[in-house]
Amino acid sequence: MAPRATQAAAALLLAAQAAGVGGFKAIVTGASGMVGSTLLHQLEFTTEGCEKATAVRRRTHGDLSTDEGAAALADTARDTGAAVIHCAATFAGEDIVDRNVRAAQAAVRAAAAAGGRLVFLSSMAAVRGPGQEPRPEVGFFTADDWNESTDLSTVGAQYQASKAQSEREAWRLAKELGVEMVSLCPSMIFGPPEDIGRCMESFSAKRVSQWMDGERPIETRLAVDVRDVVDACIASVTTPEAAGRRYIISDEKRVPAEEVAKKMRKLTFDTALEFDGAYVPPVPLGSKEVDSAPVVSELQLAPLRDGLDSIMAMAEAVLIEEERDAARRLYGVA
């Protein structure tokens, strides 16, 4: 299986003709990852309101946290005048905070060089940190909230801090350089990616596989479907009023681990799958935890897919890919 791309192992230039809009161009960083590859497919073939892409050129820019990678991305942007959809991120390894901040700076400078809009794929990790509760007067998290944690003791905490710091830096630099920016903060991304074989090393696919194999207890999660994230990325480019806006994109209520376990037991015929019943979320289960109404109304999206359905769609895709991989090994097929 192809390894998951980290810091923009590939970036793709898409020239997509938008019906009724006059067309738009978008540079997608991190296009080998789950969101980026699904976004590429959507733009090229199936996006409602977009015709088939008129051209696709592949350019490898390398690591966007390096001067060389950032310069290559800026050169491509300058040559094309394209919008930049920044999906690339480092999830683990040394200097994760610094690398993600540098990649964010590269994306902003590329958009400035192009004179186009930046769509910045951030994360709910930038909205709230571990143990952080919603503001009492609101009762749930909104796009006005920020991760307040300073904990860098674990890789997970470092990743969450990197998402908050990189998004803050993107907003700061975008304002300084006069770049139109839209930020999207998805929760944990599930659903069927365009190429599950390529995405089996993504965090969510690995976690779902661990749940089904019984390697980890099934967890209570906020969830969003990769197809909804892709739709929001495209709408963020084409909606003029979205400039300067920050959006949460997620099912508004957590998916209880017990419900996921019931579905996965039927899917895997494994009645012994366990779930974590000890986790206490920041708001009671069944209550609204995040506000995603603005992203649906302002970007004119269809209602977001149900979180449980999105988790199970990924589970089915992972199971099929694992069966394919087992057959390939059995018959010696590469």
For 176-207, how does the pLDDT look when each residue is reduced to its tens digit (9 = 90+)?
A: 999 999 999 999 999 998 888 888 889 999 99
Higher-pLDDT residue of 46 and 173 is 173
- Tell me which of 301 and 95 has the higher pLDDT: 301
CB atoms near residue 171 (< 10 Å): 19
- Angle CA(172)–CA(165)–CA(26) in degrees, nearest 5? 65
Tell me what pLDDT residue 23 has: 58
Region 168-174: mean pLDDT is: 98
CB-count burial class (<10 Å; 0-12, 13-18, 19+) for 329: exposed
Q: Mean pLDDT in the chain?
A: 86
Rounded Cα–Cα distance for residues 138 and 295 (Å) = 18
Please identify which residue in the block is written with the tokens 């590269």. 106
Angle (nearest 5°) at CA 252 between 143 and 46: 90
248: three-class secondary structure by DSSP? strand
Reported pTM: 0.89
Residue 61, pLDDT score: 56
Res. 59: pLDDT tops 60: no
Strand, helix or coil at 66?
coil
Q: Across the chain, how many H-helices and E-strands are there?
A: 10, 9
Range with the largest mean pLDDT of 1-5, 26-30, 114-118: 114-118
